[in-house]
Structure 1
């Protein structure tokens, strides 16, 4: 699944080509995504001038004269820029025709993504956006903020930092890596993480996400950047996807467990568990 760095990488790739362009038309080949696309969406988009592009969590926002295109890449979606004569593939569902003779192509094999048009103003009040937590790079996202939100929370710390009502964009890969770097067992109840450790965790999350963005996101089999090239951050992953292999730091075998219906990798030596509740949460 494309996570925050992948979405940010996509935004950085398409922004120079879309900003201040006019949407001349839209071609929709598949109307049934996560939410159905209106059959008359072309009437809303034709002639709209793109005024800004941004990201909120994993949502890409293309703000135009009269509204906003909201795009979510779902499990396997991606955006690419193509020439108008580029033949569509089986899973190329949408083309935005731009005034600079480029098309923004939305591809989504699993169709769990979304392509929406909204006239909500400001767009931050849209139902999909209004309850999201702060961005990981916002000044509001501090160790004290995280510690305060964790009080009386029995959920595993990994589940806690992946909750988009707490902070957006910290997906499975990056949560796994951040907890390893800070030496926190992923199944530790959030309320048991001391304030000092939260102070350490926040800049680690930020650093890992920044490095992933710089390196083009994490290569997953379904993800390609807007230029069609995969990222390479996975070459430097410490524990994610490495269960059964030796820890780079202590040579202990990386273990895995299920937390919140997700597989989590961790090093039992570098991330020791001091709480009996972890044994209950682990397989």
Structure 2
């Protein structure tokens, strides 16, 4: 995993304990990662506040509980529907008021039962316009509609969701890193108007070389950036700044890793007082020195 991707996941808290401890050990000696952490930290913190549901992929709509053939009865589930079911009774038509009065007048008085008791009178229900509604099909109990998920299938596992969410985090972090890198490059190009000093030096006996770039900071301070090659991996080195009066000032210490060493440090010394930059051991012995030009030169 690239250092930039690991940095973004570290800032979002997406690394496990082992990866986090390993990256913190790397972060302690990598000024480049520290600078990027300061630049993209506010952007990454916004991603860390998203909930798990914000990272979930859209799911397809759940299948309908009823199939196209809703009226069909699945075979083998519940008792079979009777084929001799009676048809629904159609209510009798209600005659108009005039016809009803005529029928009531012409009807004989002795229409009641033979025993003289009055039976219950059934009031016919009026028919709704448009015809009677057809009865809805009834699904037998115990039947399962088609299209529903069977009990043999299970949703995605928690581990699968974690890896998918982590992949989304990595993609989002890559976008943030790309945007932040462009902003940093533009800011360095537009704001780097201060005087710049450069210097180079070699130590053939040790097999080391040194390249130095110095920029003026706020309130008369200086920022020193070096690129050193040929240093021993795992050795503790010290960066010195020597002024024109011969005084030596310690800028910072670091432990060398494999490959070229890119180290940055700040000092309260003004740019015009620096004479040369030295890389040496922590006991004060010098290894390679880069003389600085006599006057600051504006960048091209």
TM-score by length of 2: 0.22
State which structure, 1 or 2, has the greater radius of gyration over its C-alpha atoms: 2
TM-score, reference length from structure 1: 0.23
Instruction: Give the structure, 1 or 2, with the largest relative contact order (CA under 8 Å, sep 6 or more).
Output: 1
